Amino acid sequence: MKTIGLKAGVTRRGALAAGAAMMASAAGVGRAAAQASGAPIRVGGTLALTGPLAQTGAIHKVVGEIFIEQENKAGGMLGRPIEWVLLDDQSKPDLARTLYERLLTVDKVDLLMGPYATANILSAMSVAQRFNKVLIHHTFGIPKLANYDRHFPAWPLGAEPEKTVTGNLFDALASTGKAPKSIAIVTSKFPSVQFLAAGARDVVKQRGIEEKLYLEFEFGNRDFGPIAARVREANADLLYVGAIGLEGSQLLEALDQLNYKPRNHYYVYPTPGPLASSPLGADAMAATAYEDLAPLNASTTAQEFSKLFRVAAQKAKLPYLEPDTQAATSYSAWQTLTGAVNATKSLDDKVLADYLKGNGADTIVGKFRFDGANNYGPDLMKVKQVQNGAWVIVWPKEQATPGKTIIVK
Amino acid sequence: MAARTRSNSAGRATPLLALGACALALLPLFHPPLFFESFLYLIFFWITLATSWTILGGFSGYVSFGHGAFYGIGVYAMANLGKPLTFGPALLLAGLLAAATGVAIGAVTFRIRRLRGELFALLTLSLAIIISTIVLNTPIDGGPGVMVNIAIPHVYEQQSSTLYLIGLCVAFGSIMVARAVQLGTLGRGLFAISDDEDVAEILGVPTFAYKLIAIGISSFLAGVMGGVHAIFVSYVTVGETFSISVPLYVLLMSILGGARHWLGPALGAIVITTISYSFVGGDSALIARAAIGLTLIVATIFLPQGIIGLLLRARITAPELPAPHASFAAAPKTPPYEPTDGPLLEAREITMSFRGLRALDGVSLTINKGEILGLVGPNGSGKSTLINVVTGFYKPTGGVLLHCGHDITGMSGHERARLGLARTFQIPRPFARQTVLDNIMVPALFGARHESRGDARDRAMEAIEFVGLQDRCDALPDELNLHQRKFLELARVLASGSRLVMLDEVLAGLTPREISEAIEMVRKIHACGTTILFVEHNMRAVLELSDRLIVLNQGHLVANGNPREVIADPVVVAAYLGADHAEN
Amino acid sequence: MSATLIGQSLLSGLMSGCLYALLGLGLTLTWKYLRIINLAHFALIFLAAYLTYEMSTRGWHPFLSALLLLPVFFMLGAAQQVLMSRYKVDEFASVIVTFGVTIIIESLIQYVWSADFIRVEKRLARGSLELGPWLAPWDQLIMCGFSIIACLLVWVVLKHTWHGKALRAQLDNPSIAAAFGVPNRKLSLALAGMGSAFAALGGVFIALLFTLTPSQIYSWFGVILATVLLGGLGSTFGALAAGMVIGVGESLTMALTAPAWAPIVPFTLLILILILWPERL
């Protein structure tokens, strides 16, 4: 069952019918009704479907639709179909706040699902807090800012990613015996990314690695030429790029135009496709929560999700069809939500919150625990690397793609 | 046209508005779904930003692309200072910091005549980018964003309801401020600035001060709203706060609603906010967005005066004619001269150079009380430059200008207007978007008499009746013929109550019959006790009217004396006809 | 800080400047001669960029795409101008109308190509021209060439052809120009068409040099408006010079201090010029 948000004033039933007719291609409407019955359980949330964050918002929309269709086919939650009341927050935090209030007070949804990206999640969280609602969200980047006791993160960064994510990377590099002796850190001022890069500086210092360059550039920077020139001049063993989206690829190209190739290079949240497909991206490393690779995709759930995602992503005209961190954490957030509801047979927020704190959740990204500081559990992020034109997991060893080890130069 | 009904547009809207605001203030008592309060709050937010923008951008015509900067200063003032100072003082400071920034910018840029129109827009855009860069790279934010967690006064049970109430107060306050500005003397001045700033200045509008006040009010309100909004969003980032969409949407709302009316921007804000925040369905997001685009196009094309223009159209078809005045055709009284013995105006060795070219070269002359002084000279001889120097439009390169014995060389245009110096323009320069009555109201309010508003209206009506335009009070200058526009110029100097009136070729372009009428009019103006400097090419008229005649040629004063003797002077003949004729 | 670094940044700034000029060219012309502040210019640039991408996925060479796009966009621009003059949209209102067009085009782009990042994989040319220790990427050099040629072309047309003179006369006094037989309407349409043809050309290079996502339409507003105004409305070489001043200012700041401070130099410079030498603009 697929649902649509509506403008205020139109009755939901009428619009649902119209919506169903309109979206014949969405399928599943009839089947869902056959298998899950009763009044639907309504889950409300917003995503950045337009505006500057829409490119990633689109991934989360695709995943949510996949999940709900799957779930409803399998009998829904508590035997009732799930209905997703999805609204577009236009990438604006103030609108996100207003729309979550609308979801709770006008649409009167039963449960909430978080929006996309840190600022909007914080907005949603403040609303959830006022209503004591459980808020499960998938893409929150700065754990220390989240101090509501009923929020549950599915982006498995751990409570102090500014230490652990970078620490992981250096553990991986050190395991080869060829740990880099110097580093150049270049980061975008996108809040959640800058936060990690700034943390990386401390980690580097503790490990006695020489920081040859630390640069911050504005999010949305267009000209990477001068930055590339400085990276080339610093010529460090490791280039650490605090990049979100395509900033990393743009910097690489600017470096290529200066005939410079970084010896080792790491990216925080890169758009995965272009790095893997470009020859310049060879050996590039990044943090990830999931790839469609053994052993991460061992479960049938994970395999089926991966398969469905490729089909749906193609239909939604997304250019990169491999499910990775964004898609998988989104799916995990839904798994966390339905897992708690099905286990407790309850829609009560206190019951759900207590359950999640005590039991965590089993997801395709791994076992979530919410028992640490700010409801964060362990850091589940892994290190991946482009090898032969494709991403493979190289760290930690027990989760590495079989036969693959990290390449350090 | 909004401006056409400006003088009587207060009407019933205000009490209705106040009533509405009161009703909205009580809304939280009825516990509506929280969403409505939040949604209305966003409308209040945009109303405030658009309305505050219009006080500068719409009224004075100084279109700013930097409104987001003032709002952003407010946001970050609250984010950084809210904790140590508590809400109230921090909010005040948010407004004051924004206003201080605005006034500082204005103090530098408003002095420069060229920085109008698109250059001002560019300047404010640059400024917004600079401020955002500073915030991004200093501890004010530094990049990671700032959490705003500040207690606000307890009015309603829910904090969000209280915030809604604050938003309502700020928005309503902004609208009332805009209304007060528009209907007050300040508004008259700003509208005049928007139509023709140079003319406004020489009619007595203190343009520089008024623009500063306007930018101060405008940025103060934006800063206050920013302070409130920081609490609403609770986590502020540079990218979001200083995004280009803030100044852009503010501009769109103001223009769509009607930027030359205090209520226009609010209407625009309501329409655009409602449309763009209502269609947020997950699957219709794109269609809704495209629909907004289409709305903007269609609304602009079919509502050229904005939404407010549509609402006011009914009034325009039945204009409210001003009540006829009792003392028909009675000339306005000129105030008595100060008891000094010397000439009314004296110029000593005035020189005016433009990039090396001397338009006036050591010109000395006097204008005596009560005379009609004729001034003739070939084209380019410096006649208009002289007038521009006397009215203060140009600052002379050298020389001294005395008025009743007082040095006024360094005085600004509007100060001279208040002393009683006035001029007309050869090619009439009326305020194009204001009615005849509103045009004349400006000098009546700001000129030598400096009347209170009620008196100014009477004075303006007298002047209009004096020149016989009483049937065209509600016409726009475009709807007048040349002859009427020249008389509009005359009515202006009359309404100002000036002692010295400089008439710059009032007869040019008129038919012989109209010329006779105009000469008669000049006589009547003079009969009221006004001193006149009569600049003219029409020699018949000059000889007929002038008590004394001076002649300028190539920036020099070449003759001065009895009109009939002066025109017989060989030097004067040479100036007009070339040296050969003079010798023969 | 080495000479290599500074020289390289200078070079990079000059090339950015050429791009700014190319993107601003159409905007400055229509603003000056038609009194239309055409915000849709930015949307048209991106529409052309996406179309270039689409054709590149079918194996079209970008120059071939440009050949097709230029006339098509010429028609689009002229069509918009028909609307603008039919309804007598003034300068103020043109901002709203063209912003409306921008939103519609943005939605269309997102509908067709999704909001995700898109990149033309095929480059015009790989590698860089080596000038001693300094490198100039070939594809950017080609862009610079087109930008300079376009500016030159417009300048020649405006200054030395009958149509150009007629245009300038029309700006000074439309009714007198009409009396001398200057075909008001046709000229306006041609100019508007030319403006958006330049948008198409700019779009081709945006596609070749940048990553595309619909919301990027707005990220160019600030710098291009600044270029156009700093250069003086209607002045092609002014735009080129202004673009280079801004580009070099940005890139030197990036090279010498923190890149995040980059915007502050050109815009402070701009404000100083505005305040100290307003008559220069």
Give yes or no: residues A331 and A217 share one domain.
no
What's the helix, strand, coil split of chain A in %, to 5?
A: 45, 20, 35
Task: Look up residue B108 and give its two tokens.
Answer: 């530098």
* CA nearest to A47 within chain B: B282
Q: Do A230 and C128 touch (CB under 8 A)?
A: no
A270 in the same domain as A306: no
| B283-332 confidence digits (pLDDT tens) | 777 887 888 889 888 888 888 788 888 888 654 443 344 443 433 334 44
Single out the residue of C233, C237, C234, C256 nearest to residue C245, CA to CA: C237
Task: Round to whole Å and give the CA distance between B140 and B240.
Answer: 15
pLDDT bracket for residue A68 (50, 70, 90): very high
Mutating which of C5, C12, C253 best tests the A interface, going by the most A Cβ atoms within 10 A?
C12
Q: In whole angstroms, what is the distance from residue B424 CA to residue B495 CA?
A: 12
Q: Is residue A277 part of a domain?
A: yes
Domain boundaries, chain C: 3-280
**What are the tokens at B434?**
């204001």
CATH number at residue A189: 3.40.50.2300
Size of interface A-B (CB pairs under 8 A): 122
In a domain, A406, yes or no: no
**Chain B CB contacts of C222 below 8 Å:** 125, 129, 244
Q: Are A136 and A43 part of one and the same domain?
A: yes
The lowest-confidence range among A104-113, B121-130, C159-168 is C159-168
CA-to-CA distance for B306 and B260, rounded, in angstroms? 9
Question: Quick count: other Cβ atoms within 10 Å of Cβ C132?
Answer: 8
Q: Both tokens of residue B7?
A: 């003088």
Residue whose structure tokens are 């779930």: A71
Residues 4-33 of C with CB under 8 A from A: 4-5, 8-9, 11-13, 15-16
| pLDDT band of B534, cuts 50, 70, 90 | very high
| Strand B406-407 relative to strand A366-368, pairing | unpaired
Quick count: other Cβ atoms within 10 Å of Cβ C178? 14
Give me the pLDDT at residue A22, please.
38
* Alpha-carbon distance C210 to nearest alpha carbon in chain B (angstroms): 21
Q: How are beta strands A82-88 and A41-47 bridged, if at all? A: parallel
CA distances from B266 to A281, B229, B272 (A): 52, 18, 10
Determine the distance from the C-alpha atom of residue B235 to the mean position of all C-alpha atoms in its chain, rounded to a whole number: 39
Structure tokens at B123: 């300047």
| Cβ distance of C251 and A225 shorter than 8 Å | yes
Half-sphere exposure at residue C22, Cβ-oriented, CA atoms within 13 angstroms: 26
| Of the partner residues C15, C214, C262, the one whose CB lies closest to the CB of residue A218 | C262
Given an 8 Å threshold on Cβ–Cβ distance, is B35 in contact with A106?
yes
Asked if residue A336 belongs to a domain, the reply is: yes
B140 CA: distance to closest CA in chain C (Å): 14
Q: What residue type is A78 in one-letter code?
A: L
Query: Residue A50: which of B238, B240, B286 has the nearest Cβ?
Result: B286
CB contact under 8 A, A5 and B281: yes
Q: Report chain B's terminal Cα–Cα distance, integer Å.
A: 61
Residues 6+ apart with CB under 8 A from C280: C273
Q: Are residues A151 and A34 in the same domain?
A: yes
Same domain, A72 and A111: yes
Whether A234 and A264 share a structural domain? yes
CA distance A258 to chain C (A): 6
Same domain, A138 and A38: yes
- DSSP 8-state secondary structure symbol assigned to residue A48: -
User: Is A173 in the same domain as A140?
Assistant: no
B/e letters for B91-106, b = 16+ CB within 10 Å, e = fewer, are: bbbbbbbbbbbbbebb
B partners (3+ CB pairs within 8 A) are: A, C
CA angle centred on A157, ends A124 and A206, rounded to 5°: 130
pLDDT digits (tens, 9 = 90+) for A349-400: 999 999 999 999 999 999 999 999 999 999 999 999 999 999 999 989 999 9
A350 shares a domain with A276: no
Nearest-CA distance A96 → chain B (Å): 9
Q: Which residues of B touch A10 (CB under 8 A)?
A: none
Sign of the torsion angle spanned by Cα atoms A67, A68, A74, A80: positive
Name the pLDDT band for A102 (thresholds 50, 70, 90): very high
Chain A CB contacts of C115 below 8 Å: 49-50, 54-55, 57-58
Rounded-to-integer distance, Cα A371 and Cα A382, Å: 21
CB < 8 Å to A49, chain B: 282, 285-286
In a domain, A407, yes or no: no
CB C100 to CB B245 under 8 A? Answer: no
Question: What is the per-residue DSSP string for B20-36?
Answer: HHHHHHHGGGG---HHH
What domains are there in chain B, each with its CATH number? 39-278 (no CATH), 345-583 (3.40.50.300)
A220 touches chain C (CB under 8 A): yes
- E-strand stretches of A254-320: 264-270, 285-288
User: Are residues A49 and A98 located together in one domain of the fold?
Assistant: yes
A275 with A302, same domain? no
How far does the CA of residue A23 sit from the closest CA of chain B (Å)? 9
Distances (CA, A) of A17 to A23, A84, A85, C221: 10, 15, 15, 42
Say if residue B339's pLDDT is above 50.
no
- pLDDT for B15-31, tens place per residue? 889 999 999 999 999 98
Chain A neighbours, 3+ Cβ pairs < 8 A: B, C
Could you tell me the pTM of the whole model?
0.89
A3 touches C at CB < 8 Å? no
What is the reported pLDDT for B277? 83
Sheet holding A210-217, edge to edge: A210-217, A182-188, A238-245, A264-270, A285-288, A382-387, A390-395
Whether B492 and chain A come into contact, CB under 8 Å, resolves to no
Q: With cut-offs at 50, 70 and 90, classify the pLDDT of residue C273.
A: confident
Contact residues on chain A for B239, CB-CB shorter than 8 A? 190, 219-220
User: Is A181 near chain B, with CB under 8 Å?
Assistant: no
Q: Provide the 10 A C-beta neighbour count for residue B583.
A: 9
In Å, how far from its chain's centre is CA A331?
A: 9
CATH class for the region spanning C3-280: mainly alpha
Residue A292 is classified by DSSP as S
> Buried (b) or exposed (e) across A219-232, using 16+ Cβ within 10 A?
bbbbbbbbbbbbbb
- Mean pLDDT, chain B, integer: 87
Most B CBs within 10 A among A98, A120, A186, hence the mutation to make, goes to A98
Structural domain contains residue A2: no
Chain C interface disruption, residue of A92, A218, A222, A247, most C CBs within 10 A? A222
A306 contact partners, CB below 8 Å, separation of at least 6: A292, A297, A323
Q: What is the mean pLDDT of residues B143-164?
A: 90
Q: Examine residue A363 and state whether it is found in any structural domain, yes or no.
A: yes
Q: How confident is the model at residue C271 (pLDDT cuts 50, 70, 90)?
A: confident
* pLDDT value at residue B477: 92
Per the structure, the count of domains in chain A is 2
Q: Would you call C176 exposed, middle or buried from its count of C-beta atoms within 10 A (0-12, 13-18, 19+)?
A: exposed
Question: What is the residue range of A366's domain?
Answer: 12-159+296-375
* Residue A7, domain member (yes or no): no
Instruction: Give a yes or no: residue A361 inside a domain.
Output: yes
**Touching chains, C (3+ CB pairs < 8 A):** A, B
* C281 with B134: Cβ contact below 8 A: no
- Cα B463 to Cα B457: distance, rounded to the nearest angstrom: 10
Chain B CB contacts of A7 below 8 Å: 278-281
Q: Is residue A16 located within the same domain as residue A152?
A: yes
Q: Mean pLDDT, to the nearest integer, of A264-276?
A: 89
Single out the residue of B535, B574, B539 nearest to residue B367, CA to CA.
B535
Confidence of residue B263 (pLDDT cuts 50, 70, 90): very high
The distance of C277 to chain B (nearest Cα, Å) reads: 10
Cα distances (Å, whole numbers) of residue A6 to A87, A97, A115: 8, 17, 17
**C214 in contact with A at a CB cutoff of 8 Å?**
yes
Find the range with the poorest average confidence among A60-74, B85-99, B212-226, B441-455: B441-455
**B149 and A CB contact within 8 Å:** no
